[in-house]
Amino acid sequence: MVVLVQQAAHHLSEHVTWRGLVEFGAVFTLIWIAWLNGSLYHDLHGREDARGRTVLLVQILALVPLGAFIPEAGGSDGFAFSVSAAVLFAVLALVWRLAGRGTAAEYRRSSLVFVFQ
């Protein structure tokens, strides 16, 4: 996550304009949401087993293409960046959906609300 924020900040340092600031804000917000989801999932459902490590690895692998398109997220690679972000959030939704299946029946509905919002 630090590398992704650094790339966005580096792009902002080269484009110190209102548009550059808005682009940085949008990219930073997406990165922050992904970090928050990943760390919240790990705090609530993370385990030190193969499943927990695989979930973390899948989340990291979903971040790699996102990081590749950050420098031109507001320009020529905007579509690729948005597709990468959509894939990342689909992975996060799937992870939360699978975590919700293993909870008690009284918590499943709130888990589904979180996934589909």
Give me 86's structure tokens.
């959509």
Query: What confidence score (pLDDT) does residue 75 get?
Result: 74
**What is the number of other CB atoms lying within 10 angstroms of the CB of residue 106?**
7
Mean pLDDT by 10-residue block, N- to C-terminus, for the chain (117 residues)? 64 72 82 81 74 80 81 76 86 80 64 62
Query: What confidence score (pLDDT) does residue 108 get?
Result: 64
Query: What confidence score (pLDDT) does residue 117 get?
Result: 57
CA gap 105, 40 in Å, rounded: 21
CA gap 89, 70 in Å, rounded: 16
Query: What confidence score (pLDDT) does residue 48 get?
Result: 76
Query: What confidence score (pLDDT) does residue 81 get?
Result: 82
Domain ranges of the chain: 2-116
Pick from 81, 89, 95: which is nearest to 44 by CA? 95
CA gap 52, 78 in Å, rounded: 32
